[in-house]
Chains A and B, each alone.
Chain A
Amino acid sequence: MSVTVDKRPPGRPQAARPAKGARAGRPHAAWALPGVLFFAFFAIVPMALALYLSFTEWDGLSDPKPVGLANWQKLLDDPRLTQSLWLTVLLTVCSWAFQTVVALLLGVWAAGPQRNRAVLSAIFFVPLVLSSAAIALLFYALLDPNFGVIRTGILGSSSGAFLAIVFVGGWQFIPLHTLIYQGGARQIPAVLYQAATVDGAGRYRQFFSITLPQLRHTMTTSSVMMIAGSLTYFETVLLLTRGGPGTDTAILPYLMYEAGFESYDFGYASAIASFLVIAATGLSLLLVRLTGFGGMRSTREGM
């Protein structure tokens, strides 16, 4: 791959137009090609393939057989679809609210002047050294009703299992978002607080009138990450609840996994996957539109 990068450019631009200073030394767009092709092959092509497979019946071994709209018909008639859609939305909203509130408060606090803050920040960091699978396993081992360390019945009730997933997700991701908010809060110019203090604004007034508005970009970024991330709670669900009790925590990706890799109905799994892609793309277009995330301008302007 790197060979393409090395061979392509030398000499070309300055030979072409040496006179125009502003345009000289621009790389050729072909430099981007290896990366684009690589990503397209492993992400875009499979998406198209998923759409194709959703119109077939395929057990993973023989060749896929076209069956028209049967899988989509089945999907729309599947009561688990409505349930898991609703679950996915609820999980996203609850996780977002839980993580944003805690991470925002902790991050702002950790950016402040307390002396013991460094030690505490180090401890807050600990969940970050564990992988999602390890964290899900940790809570499985703690909460399992029969052999767990604490042996509660939490995972046996549907609301308990759902809350456990929200909590475990928060336990895992809040440290990262705390760091992000801490970084954002440190960049707020101290002058703003000094001026506010002179004007007699109290601590809470300062928080709502300075800290929160100044953190809005940070909040956008962190929220986009959280929302995109909550589509990936698959590990937590698989390891902690296996979609249970019943199908009460079977979020969309879990439903797909079950259809494909446990029931070997890959055509149906592809229909669910295509649906997931459509939902995720819609969501990301919406987020990009609403927030201007990743716009073509420098965010450091005016700082």
Chain B
Amino acid sequence: MSHTTLPRPAKTAESAGPPRETPRRRHWSRRPNPVAGLGATLWLLVVLIPIYAMLSASLTPQEQALTENPLRPPTNPTLDNYNTVLDSGFGHLLANTVITAVAVVGIVLVLSVPLAYVAVRTRSRWSGAAFRLFLLGVAIPAQAVVVPLYLLISKLGLYDTLPAVILPTAAFAMPVSVLILTGTLRDISEELYEAMALDGASPLRMLLQLTVPLAKGGISTVVIYSALQAWNGFLFPLIFTQSDGPRVLTLGLFNYVSQFGVNIPALLASVVLSGIPIFVVYLLARRALVSGLMGVGGK
């Protein structure tokens, strides 16, 4: 019976990313465009110069940081700054961030997939109202609720724990996730559901065997989006945690400012180190990451 779900796998490919039309266009229209090429090169410099300055400064011994020309490669490069950062609990910060990201992704998926499923599949007034609630939620900035959340979190006894960061982060990742998922789910054709209904499948079975497999594109976008929200989150950790125990990476970087003080090379080394994990993910799963991020824009 589950085979009834399979006849149109093309649908997933379509919603997963842009159709591969580029090769055909390539022969046709455009000759290279020198003006655009120039513009792109200019932006390339805008991106690369700060990164270059960061890498070069992070390799400069602290004593020379103020005298060296930032655009010249360091005269005697050293990894000391990186050791300074690694010795000050960087691994712990990274572990906390990874735990936060995994938990946020899990919560968001478990809660928003059924929600989007209901929003698309039922015609009841309640589901429409729930959907509009989330639509409005997109624009509520987390800053706006941080004071009362602080009250709630302390009353729940969660202050200065990882859940204090995880739960609100997940909640604030939900509106966009629900929007992305409803967009994807709406593209699954009604006939497939009807076919499964004829076979007597329950709504749960349809969700697991039809909707989820066909919505892979949208789901992976939601995974990437919510993982990045957790990765980037700064305000919630800043306000809901205090001690070293539950400190996450972004907040750790902030604390390095006072900890390292004027040791700018070490500060920059910590910035470089904080970027490495996502860079590794990018190298390993470039296609998935890029198409997932494109999907955040929807359509």
Contact = CB atoms under 8 A, between A and B. Distances in A.
Interface of A: 1-2, 5-6, 9-14, 18, 21-22, 24-29, 31-32, 34-36, 38-47, 49-50, 53, 60, 102, 105-106, 108-114, 120, 122-134, 137-142, 144, 146-150, 171, 174-177, 179-180, 182-184, 186-187, 189-190, 193-194, 197, 203, 206, 217-218, 221-222, 224-225, 228, 231-232, 234-235, 239, 253, 256-257, 260-261, 266, 269-270, 273-274, 276-277, 280-281, 283-285, 287-288, 294, 296-300
Contacts of A39: 111, 133-134, 137, 171, 174-175
Contacts of A126: 47, 51, 279
B8 interface: no
A269 B24 CA distance: 57
B181 to A, nearest CB: 11
B144 A47 contact: yes
B149 A253 contact: no
Interface of B: 14-15, 17-19, 21-22, 24-26, 28-30, 32-33, 36-37, 39-40, 43-44, 46-48, 50-51, 53-54, 57, 65-66, 70, 107, 110-112, 114-115, 117-119, 121-124, 126-127, 130-131, 133-152, 167-168, 170-172, 174-175, 178-179, 182-183, 186-187, 193-194, 196-198, 200-204, 206-207, 231-232, 234-235, 239, 249-251, 253-254, 256-257, 262, 264, 267-268, 270-271, 274-276, 278-279, 282, 286, 290-291, 293-299
6 closest Cβ pairs, A-B complex? A284-B139, A180-B297, A42-B171, A49-B148, A183-B294, A46-B145
A221 B221 CA distance: 15
Contacts of B40: 106, 109-110, 120
Contacts, number: 379
A2 B111 CA distance: 8
Nearest to B149: A46
A138 B110 contact: no
A130 B228 CA distance: 10
B53 A149 contact: yes
A260 B250 CA distance: 21
Contacts of A31: 114-115, 117-118, 203
Nearest to A148: B264
Contact of A22 (B194, B200, B297): B194
Contacts of B139: 228, 231, 280-281, 283-284, 287
B274 A186 contact: no
Given A134-B253, A134-B274, A284-B138, A21 B197 contact: yes
Nearest to B262: A147
21 contacts: A9-B203, A22-B194, A26-B122, A31-B117, A112-B30, A113-B25, A129-B279, A134-B274, A142-B70, A148-B264, A186-B22, A189-B21, A193-B28, A228-B138, A239-B254, A266-B150, A273-B145, A284-B140, A294-B138, A298-B187, A300-B15
Contacts of B274: 130-131, 134
B245 to A, nearest CB: 19
Contacts of A186: 18-19, 21-22
